[in-house]
Structure 1
Amino acid sequence: MSQAPAAEARVCLLDSGYRRETRALLYTVYRNDPTFAYLLEAHRPGYERRLRTLLREWVRQHFYLQLPAVGLLLDDRLVSVALIVPPLRRLGVADSWAWRLRMMVGAGVRATRRFMAYQAAVSTCRPTDQVHVLPLLGVLPALQGQMYPTQLLHAVQQWCMKNGQVEGIVVDTGNDEHVAFYHTQGFVEVGEVAIGTVRQRVLMYDSAQVSEPLA
């Protein structure tokens, strides 16, 4: 018996009321991510605590700074989210002393420094400052083989192309499958950073490739 096609989710611009759902979703997405496993030293005890701290404090500060977040809701359940940092807000979460202090207390000085160094290294790969950056994004693992990753990126592209004169959207990942997916969505590689043994690819969606804003 064939399965019914997946229902299209509702696109929503999220506010701080979605903080708890956002960090819970991101935890399921990044728990086994190779980049985060290296940065937060998954081989040492306390990895899950360090990861939860990072995501909790990042999401808290993101919404505190009133930075945009696009989500997909399926039957009022958050199933996908993308945090966005516009070009005019480049001094974002990792530049906040409040975030750094809470990270050092909850995740440790070593993890905080490693994560900040990773952020700085990735930023050097961006070909221009006039881009929207996606620091954290993902779809619930159980739904990743369906239409929702594509729907999320399309919603992000819509929002970004309609909010400011920018040259594109930038994302980075150490997951080869994710790199292949981004390629199908019009992203091209613009740089690479070595994160331990992980090849962290930086990809950009060039707004010049569309003649008009996405409908």
Structure 2
Amino acid sequence: MPDDIRATARTCLLDKGYRREVRAVLYEVYRQEPTVAYLFEAQRPGYERRLRAMIRAWVRQHFYLQLPAVGLMVEDRLAGVALIVPPLRRLGVADSWMWRLRMIIGTGLRCTRRYLDYQAALVGSLPSDQVHMLPLLGVHPDFRSQQHAEQLLQAVHDWCAEEPGSHGVVLDTGNARYLAFYKLQGYQEIGEIAIGPVTERVFFHPNPLSSRSVTAGPAR
């Protein structure tokens, strides 16, 4: 990607007016991820519909609960996003009966149970209660570069470091190609979760000193 386009990238906090763009980015990020493919049965017809239903339900509840979301903007387009769950809000989204109902309707009972089991296993692997979690994050394939991914994660780290008492950031992945990148960004592997045939690795980034702030995004 040309350097002049990279130079226009900026990070900001997103409000609910960006829900549609957030869903579109996350769909492109996750549709070929091995963990999601297992949880929502990619081998069975209707996989893309089930994946969209999960993302739609999670994003809707995330913004309804007014949880933070950091966006990476390239000019006026949302190129990347990280949904953040602050400490002590571990299953704030998945605890909602309305969210569970939407999940069952959109993905089916079996996939919903798989997803809830995965979330519970992830919570059980946390190093402490005082960590931020990134349940969904990524950069759209049209803008995928190490520089953009680094910029998005650095913005997340800076934002989370501002919260008193936070020990750091936790994320997880079942995609082996991301392992070296996360380690390069200062993440430490702290555990593994068996998700069917997929090994989901859990990473922790200790809270750094904040080097810059995330600016507020434009209202919609």
* TM-score normalised by the chain length of structure 2: 0.92
The code of the aligned residue for 1:204 comes to F
In 2, distance between residues paired with 1:146 and 1:8? 15
In 2, distance between residues paired with 1:4 and 1:185? 21
In 1, distance between residues paired with 2:145 and 2:10? 18
Deviation of residue 213 (structure 1)?
Answer: 2.4
Matched with 1:52 is: 52
In 1, distance between residues paired with 2:162 and 2:127? 21
Matched with 2:85 is: 85
- Whether 1:165 and 2:162 are equivalent positions in the alignment is no
- Whether 1:213 and 2:215 are equivalent positions in the alignment is no
In 1, distance between residues paired with 2:22 and 2:189? 27
Alignment of 1:41-120 (within 5 A): 41-120=41-120
Stretch of structure 1 that moved more, 6-15 or 70-79: 6-15
Instruction: Give unpaired runs (5+ residues) of structure 1.
Output: none
Deviations 1:35-85 (A, max 9, x none): 000000000011001000000000000000000000011111000000000
Aligned partners of 2:159 and 2:210 also within 8 Å? no
The code of the aligned residue for 1:81 comes to V
* TM-score normalised by the chain length of structure 1: 0.94
Classify the secondary structure of the residue corresponding to 2:82. strand
Please, what is the CA RMSD of the aligned residues?
A: 1.4
Stretch of structure 1 that moved more, 24-33 or 119-128: 119-128
Instruction: Give unpaired runs (5+ residues) of structure 2.
Output: 213-220
Which structure ranks higher in relative contact order (CA pairs < 8 Å, sequence separation ≥ 6)? 2
